[in-house]
């Protein structure tokens, strides 16, 4: 399960950094750094105990993960005291919405039996 979380960390980091940057959070480097810190805080929570609950929750797992991520990442960005709360929470909500869409797409494409689709044409 740990390899799954590590595999998901980089795409989420990039998507959320892009959202922060486009919302005029700061430079691209600042947005990447802040995205790294806020996602690392979420990642720690998954490793320390929330991961099995999210994975075993079925369709509610992504909802639980999204809610947890919004709370943790919003709190981390608020602690920086760089931007007003309205910008912080809107950036976190949009970043996590797009992050969940990326996760949904990855889960959808990984559930397709590609070996059957590719293998059936060679027979």
pLDDT at position 104 is: 76
Kindly write down the DSSP assignment for every residue of the chain, as one continuous string: -HHHHHHHHHHHHHHHHHHHHHTT-S-HHHHHHHHHHHHHHHHHHIIIIIHHHHHTSTTHHHHHHHHHHHHHHHHHHHHHT-S-HHHHHHHHHHHHHHHHHHHHHHHHHHHS-HHHHHHHTT-
Query: What is the model's pLDDT at position 63?
Result: 76
Q: What is the pLDDT of residue 75?
A: 94
pLDDT score recorded for residue 67: 84
Residue 30: its pLDDT value, please? 94
Low-confidence ranges of the chain (pLDDT < 50): none
What is the pLDDT at residue 119?
Answer: 64
Q: For the whole model, what pTM was predicted? A: 0.75
What integer pLDDT is reported at residue 58 of this predicted model? 63
């Amino acid at each position: 399960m740990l390899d799954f979380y590590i595999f998901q960390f980089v795409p989420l980091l990039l998507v959320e950094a892009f959202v922060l940057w486009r919302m005029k959070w700061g430079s691209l480097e600042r947005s990447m750094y802040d995205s790294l810190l806020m996602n690392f805080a979420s990642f720690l929570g998954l490793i320390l105990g929330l991961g099995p609950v999210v994975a075993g929750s079925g369709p509610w797992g992504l909802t639980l993960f999204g809610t947890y991520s919004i709370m943790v990442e919003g709190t981390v960005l608020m602690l920086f005291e760089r931007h007003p709360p309205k910008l912080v929470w809107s950036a976190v909500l949009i970043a996590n919405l797009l992050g969940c869409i990326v996760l949904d797409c990855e889960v959808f494409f990984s559930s397709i039996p590609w070996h059957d689709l590719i293998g059936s044409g060679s027979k």
